Structure 1
Amino acid sequence: MPRFPSSHSRRTQPSCSPTLGHPALVRPPRKRLCAPERYTRLVSGMDHMICAELRDCERSFLGCMTSREAEREFAFRWEAALQRFVDAAEAGSLLDDTLQVCVSIVGRINIVASKLSHSETAMAQTTQCLVMDARRQLQHVTHQSESAGADATLRHSPLQPNDLLAPYRRWFLDHFAFPYLTAADK
């Protein structure tokens, strides 16, 4: 006798009848429950709009670091976007997922802005210290050069124009027996 049934034999199919199913298993309805579609579309539209606006603000925040004018434009856009976000959240027209995404975007922008502010403050302080050190150093060098310049003018008298060429003249005379042109050289 064969161990496995023939491939042509009939197999029983599971029943899809509700009476044969287990009574503890409640099947979900095939259709959506009657929910106000207009409200759902309004909420999802508001979610999409607020989320997209805050993401766009985040992109423009990172892009506005190059100019002061772009920073001012971003500040106005950001303030308006935050006000719309707060109004929508207080009205209850945002889903929990959208609230979490928007709060994380606001948090990221806040972190970057505060780090930039701290960096700018530190750079300004460092620059100010370096400028003050450079001024002190220049005053010290200027004071030393003035005192050294007065001593140098007393020690060295200005050289005569002929004295400047004296070493070269001596070398020329030492290396050439008769340095002046003769009639044969002309």
Structure 2
Amino acid sequence: MLACYSPTILRPRLTAVVLQFWWMRRAGDITGLCVADVQLPADGRTCYRVPDHKTAARDRLIARTLPPAHDGAYDVPRQLLARLLADLRSAGASAGTRLFTSCAARAASGVITGWLREGLFRLDVTAPVGTIYSSHSLKKGGATAANAAGVPRDAIAELTNTTDRTLAESYISTLVVPSCYDRCFYGRLFPA
């Protein structure tokens, strides 16, 4: 919710952080997004295109779709994205305009990490001793939250474009206790 009520300069940054978590993608996938890569149909779905893998060129994008939220509640991640797209379009952005930053892919992790830490600072959240939060926490955190909510592993693997084995070995922490927030983001992936 911090992103919803943040100043104009901060809102897109926090939206990028939320999208990386929600879509379970690498930082470079998010920072490379252009206006044309995202569609928000009236039926509540969120459609987007991201690189096939971390070394894929921008001309090799794969399409992903997240269904609408089931309960009709305020869909915070989608609304943040809708607001960003509306702001960009009203400012005259073209289809090729980047959503968040023009940074190079190699700098994306550092950029998103800075934005994440800025948001956590505003919330007065600090990492436990010996722990750091980084952009890598967002992809792994999203996959872990989806798993904790009970989303089938094959659905998580499809969104992350990884194998079930890679998810288990690198991205999902099975020791996490489920929370209501897991379903806020990922309840849409259950059958209606």
Same fold (TM over 0.5): no
The structure with the largest helix share of the pair is 1
Higher relative contact order by CA 8 Å / sep ≥ 6: 1 or 2?
2
TM tier relative to shorter chain: under 0.3
Structure exhibiting the larger radius of gyration computed from Cα positions? 1
Q: TM-score, normalised by structure 2?
A: 0.21
The structure with the largest strand share of the pair is 2
